[in-house]
Structure 1
Amino acid sequence: MGNRLFLLFLFLGVTFQVTAQELNFTVTINSERARTQNKDIFDQMKNSFEQFLNGRSWTNDQYDASERIKGNILVTINDMPQVGYFEATVQIQAVRPVYGTSYETLSFNFVDRNWNFEFKESQPMEFNRYSYLNEITSLLAYYAHIVIGLDYDTFSQEGGEPYFEIANNIVSNALQSGRSGWDQDPGNRRNRYWLIDELYSSQVTRAIREASYLYHRKGLDQLTSNPEDAYKNILQALEKLAEVNNTQPNSILTITFMDAKSDEISKILQNAPLDIQEQAVEHLLQVDPNNARKYNDIL
């Protein structure tokens, strides 16, 4: 990625500024439900979270400013039962540029509904990938590695493996805390434990990572230069999603993929050949029946 460009420019003797940080995230804190007069703490929370995400290096690769992964984190404070203790919902979104265009595609869209944490003024944001130190940095570091891993998966097949391994280690460490969201509760499969389980550990759902590569690198990135192959690759990606859905219905990874892509897929397929449209709609109705009307409109 950026490291290869860096070496090339270094060899050519070109001087330019490189930043090591991979993320460019905006954090928004919705504190309307918080029962406190001290609203300044939410400004501190926003700044601390953004600095933690954007101000450090998460990989050994070099990124220039234009390559940083853009995204948003919305933290909705649902309750503040005592001073410094918060119950919240977190929505994480990340985007990826599409080659040869100014378009950015939503690559990750996930809602984490079980986050309970403590935050105090001037709280140090310490993180160690080998141990659980606190709830805030564990969750933010977990999603940082999820986002980076998913981004790498879109550029090379299973390229995100090292980052999913770290995210998996974060979950293993956090399990000892007994906090909600990290647990193996089979009744709540839309949490941090099951997300990384399907991304990293499960052989059944690993095909969705291959689908992501086909959809982004072989599909979206080639739509303007080679639309015939691009549509075929997008169809193949949907076939893989359908295969996973047959084996493991309601997979969190399938749902997360469609949460990010359903609107985009519907628009892209409007210009596909009829035979591609018909096969794609068949898969989409199977994988995401709640949006049947949207997919039927493609035809």
Structure 2
Amino acid sequence: MGMDAMNHRKTRNRTWITAGVLAFCLLAIPPQDARGQQVRADIMAHLEALPVLHREQMADFGLTLADYIEEWDWLEEDLPEPVHVGIEAILAFMGSAVKTQYGSRLTVYSGTDLKYLDRWWFFEYEREDYLQHDDQQFNALTWLIDYYVHIMIGHALDKYTEFGGQSHFQRANAIALDGRFSREFQRGWDERLDLIDGILAEDYKPYRLVRNRYYRGLAAQKDNKLVEARTLCREAVDLMAEIHEKNPRDKWLSEFLNAHYLQLADVFSAESPTEVPDAESSREAYDMLIKIDPTHRSTYEEHAEQVGS
């Protein structure tokens, strides 16, 4: 059974802000009641490289993509907040045959530690097109969006449950496998298959576990469960130490710490009226962080001095 038979569309209000005269279209969705909303999309489509006629034709493209993403039931799980998916696309006109063809360099991101660059997005599109969710009939535009949305949902579910995003990563893998066999829009799908194969690989599991322990630790800290928060974040630090031992120049680890070192530093020194951190355990965590992340040594040392003082 295809996704069409299992899902239904939702409706909600949006604000569309246009910046510049036909330079680009930017969809900015303000915070609001998101009950039932599963994915929140921020779309920026740069149109300045297009011929004037096609800029006009693509003026609503960002809004159309946001509707496609936000009005769909992507998952059965209930999450405490919507999954954020940001997409920035630089569009180029590739010609017109039966339909107008576009190419795009694409950046897809979520939060501060997830970002993917896609250089080979080619698709056909006309302004009157109605984008449908169809997992049987290949569509170069919608399948690429589906691919990245499932990846970002997978990462989000991993934050709450150990390997909770597996089914969405597998769905992205199936899309990439089928996308390779499209006749006119094959380019880029080999790279997308490599990306999702890497996420599903055994070697990537420690990274997924780091994010799981870290984000669960932050959630516990927010609920003022400081012992649980430090325990979970210490598990994340131990996992990062193992990654660092195998490869001191690990790119993922460096990017993750650059994004989250302040929160990690804070969790091991946080206090409440009824609970203070164990000085020895916290200092040990800071020593490990200094070893694996010397770039932020001064921050860790400052927080370590606060423990037990």
With normalisation by structure 2, the TM-score equals: 0.69
Residue by residue over 1:216-236, the C-alpha shift from the partner in whole angstroms, topping out at 9 and shown as x without a partner, is 01x211235244553453343
Distance 2:164 2:245 in 1: 25
Match of residue 146 from structure 2: 141
Match of residue 275 from structure 1: 284
**Pick from 158, 162, 165: which aligns with 1:160?**
165
Offset of 1:296 from its aligned partner?
A: 5.6
Q: Percent identity?
A: 18
> What are the within-5 Å matches in structure 2 for residues 1-299 of structure 1?
20-61=36-77, 67-77=81-91, 79-83=92-96, 84-95=100-111, 106=112, 108-129=114-135, 131=136, 133-177=138-182, 179-183=186-190, 191-200=191-200, 202-217=201-216, 219-224=217-222, 225-244=224-243, 255=252, 259=255, 262-266=258-262, 268-269=264-265, 272=268, 273-284=282-293, 292=295, 294=296, 298-299=300-301
Q: Is the 8 A contact 2:257 2:293 kept in 1?
A: no
Distance 2:53 2:257 in 1: 40
Distance 2:298 2:240 in 1: 18
Offset of 1:260 from its aligned partner?
A: 5.7
Offset of 1:159 from its aligned partner?
A: 0.9
Taking a change above 3 Å as real, the CA distance of residues 38 and 25 of structure 1, as seen in their structure-2 partners, is same
Q: Structure 1: which 5+ runs fail to align?
A: 1-16, 96-105, 184-190, 286-291
Q: Structure 2: which 5+ runs fail to align?
A: 1-32, 269-281, 302-309
Offset of 1:248 from its aligned partner?
A: 7.4
Secondary structure at the aligned position of 1:85 is classed as: strand
Root-mean-square deviation (CA, aligned residues, Å) is: 3.0
Offset of 1:18 from its aligned partner?
A: 9.0
Which of 140-149 and 29-38 deviates more? 29-38
Q: Is the 8 A contact 2:42 2:85 kept in 1?
A: yes
AA aligned opposite 2:209: E
Q: Is the 8 A contact 2:143 2:175 kept in 1?
A: yes
Taking a change above 3 Å as real, the CA distance of residues 245 and 88 of structure 1, as seen in their structure-2 partners, is farther
Match of residue 188 from structure 1: none
Taking a change above 3 Å as real, the CA distance of residues 41 and 259 of structure 1, as seen in their structure-2 partners, is farther
Distance 2:119 2:125 in 1: 18
With normalisation by structure 1, the TM-score equals: 0.71
Which structure is larger by alpha-carbon Rg, 1 or 2?
Answer: 2
Distance 1:249 1:122 in 2: 52
Residue by residue over 1:168-210, the C-alpha shift from the partner in whole angstroms, topping out at 9 and shown as x without a partner, is 1111111112623320xxxxxxx4223311222x111112111
Alignment coverage as a number of residue pairs: 250
Structure number with the bigger relative contact order (C-alpha 8 A, sep ≥ 6) is 1
AA aligned opposite 1:199: I
